A and B are shown apart, each in its own frame.
Chain A
Amino acid sequence: GGIITQTPKFLIGQEGQKLTLKCQQNFNHDTMYWYRQDSGKGLRLIYYSITENDLQKGDLSEGYDASREKKSSFSLTVTSAQKNEMAVFLCASSFLRDWGQDTQYFGPGTRLLVL
């Protein structure tokens, strides 16, 4: 088994602020993902990283940067937080073996509130 740890659990920021969210996994998974979860909109992919040093944009990458520091860690930066923004950011990881069949394992999320 393994676990995904996301820090911080809650993040309160000011409009225009740069905010960084961190994710660590000990599954030894190749691929890591960042999703944004908004009520009624499901999960939308922001960035993902196939392997260490790789970075791929998802459907919602505008306004975000990401960094895969090492195999076990993946960070997401909100480049300029928007006022009244409220969402949950979920980190996930998976092996990359079975062409679309791999299960993604999720962390508990970071809850963002921008004042």
Chain B
Amino acid sequence: GDSVTQTEGPVTLSEGTSLTVNCSYETKQYPTLFWYVQYPGEGPQLLFKVPKANEKGSNRGFEATYNKEATSFHLQKASVQESDSAVYYCALGEGGGSNYKLTFGKGTLLTVTP
């Protein structure tokens, strides 16, 4: 079946340093790839999504490129801030109608220290 594997946390960074959260996926179909972010006490919310291979998504300084050949969708940010502390989920969406499914990775907890 489909699967998503991402960097095991927790990850602790100092403010101003760069972030990479690795995400690899397995599927036999043509998925849309998502990054969701979850702040403490809240549900996950969409950071951005990319429906097509070789395209890049971005939001709030975060970005990721849908690499179909490498089956990867790594999240990057050049300079993290304390407010970026959250859990980040990579997810794979495919199918439609009654076959629609969103498969999540296990999440990566990021803590940014001042």
Partners in one complex: yes
**Chain A residues proximal to chain B, CB less than 8 Å:** 4, 31, 40-45, 50, 54, 56, 90, 92, 96, 98-109
User: Total A-B residue pairs with C-beta atoms closer than 8 Å?
Assistant: 62
Give the shortest distance, in Å, between B101 (CB) and chain A (any CB).
Answer: 7
> Which residues of the other chain, A, contact B102 by a CB distance below 8 angstroms?
45, 104
> What are 11 A-B contacts with C-beta separation under 8 Å?
A4-B43, A50-B97, A90-B44, A100-B95, A101-B32, A103-B34, A103-B46, A103-B49, A105-B45, A105-B46, A109-B43
Contact A106 B93 (CB under 8 A): no
Chain A residues with CB under 8 A of B89? 42-43
CB distance from A99 to the nearest CB of B (A): 3
Known: A41-B106, A42-B105, A45-B101. A100 touches B94 (CB 8 A): yes
Instruction: Decide if B31 touches A100 in the complex (CB within 8 Å).
Output: yes
Identify 5 new A-B residue pairs, CB closer than 8 A, beyond the known A99-B94, A103-B34.
Answer: A56-B98, A99-B100, A104-B46, A105-B45, A105-B46
Is residue B104 contacting chain A, with contact meaning CB distance below 8 A? Answer: yes
The range of chain B's interface size is 20 to 34
Chain A positions within 8 Å of B107 at CB level:
42-43
Q: B45 to chain A: which residues have CB within 8 Å? A: 105-106
Q: Which residues of B contact A98 (CB under 8 A)?
A: 51, 96
Q: Would A101 and B43 count as touching, CB distance under 8 A?
A: no
B43 touches which one: A41, A50, A92, A99 (CB < 8 A)? A92
Residues of B within 8 A of A41 (CB): 106
Q: Which residues on the A side are within 8 Å of B104 (C-beta)?
A: 42-44
| Nearest CB of A to B71, in Å | 16
Closest to A106 in B: B43
Q: Does B114 contact A (CB under 8 A)?
A: no
Please indicate the chain A residues that have their CB under 8 angstroms from the CB of B43 in the complex.
Answer: 4, 90, 92, 106-109
